[in-house]
Amino acid sequence: MLKRTGLGTILLASIFMWSCIKKQMPEDASVWNKVAVNLSKLDEDGLAGPANGKVAVNYEFCIPASDKHWKSVQKIDSTAQKMAGSPGRIGCEKQSWLIVGSTHQPNHKRVLYDLASLDYVVRIQETFWE
Residue 120's CATH number = 3.30.70.260
Residue 60: beta bridge partners? Answer: 100, 125
Q: How many structural domains is the chain composed of?
A: 1
Residue 33, in any domain of the structure? yes
pLDDT band at 14 (very low <50, low <70, confident <90, very high): low
- List the domain range (segments joined by +) for residue 60: 28-126
Residue 17, in any domain of the structure? no
Q: Kindly report the average pLDDT of the chain as a whole number.
A: 87
Share of the chain above pLDDT 70, in %: 80
Residue 18, in any domain of the structure? no
What pLDDT does 16 receive?
Answer: 55
Residue 102, in any domain of the structure? yes
Residue 117, in any domain of the structure? yes
What pLDDT does 17 receive?
Answer: 55
Residue 14, in any domain of the structure? no
Q: Which long-range contacts (CB under 8 A, 24 or more apart) does 33-38 make?
A: 34/116, 34/121, 34/122, 34/123, 34/124, 35/112, 35/113, 35/116, 35/124, 36/123, 36/124, 36/125, 36/126, 37/103, 37/112, 37/124, 37/125, 37/126, 38/126
- 40 pLDDT more than 50: yes
Instruction: Output phi, psi for 110, to 5 deg.
Output: -65, -40
- 1 pLDDT more than 90: no
Residue 122, in any domain of the structure? yes
Distance (Å, rounded) from C-alpha 69 to C-alpha 53? 35
What pLDDT does 82 receive?
Answer: 98
Residue 105, in any domain of the structure? yes
